[in-house]
Amino acid sequence: MKSGYDVLKERGFIEQFTDEALITEQFAGEPVTCYIGFDPTATSLHIGSLVPIMALAHMQQTGNKPIALVGGGTGLIGDPSGK
């Protein structure tokens, strides 16, 4: 089975990195935990959310542990930037 790193690299999710040897070493060991956070102030997700969601799906399919976080504090008070 390919590692999550190999799949993400083949599918174009990774453009550049600092130390490929370190990354491949990390993915060769125990499952990697990765996360993405969403700010729930909009009425729905948008197309820009699809890429990180797909990356999490690929990570899960290769035996890693994905976590999706939804910001509770920002959801309660709204977007503080006024956008």
| pLDDT tens for each residue of 38-63 | 877 777 778 888 999 999 999 999 99
Domain ranges in the chain? 4-77
pLDDT digits (tens, 9 = 90+) for 66-75: 999 887 776 6
Thinking of the domain 4-77, which architecture would CATH place it in?
A: 3-Layer(aba) Sandwich (3.40)
Higher-confidence position of 33 and 41: 33
Q: Give 21's pLDDT tier (boundaries 50, 70, 90).
A: very high
Higher-confidence position of 53 and 80: 53
DSSP per-residue string spanning the chain: ---HHHHHHHTT-----S-HHHHHHHHHSSPPEEEEEE-TTSSS--GGGHHHHHHHHHHHHTT-EEEEEE-HHHHHH--TT--
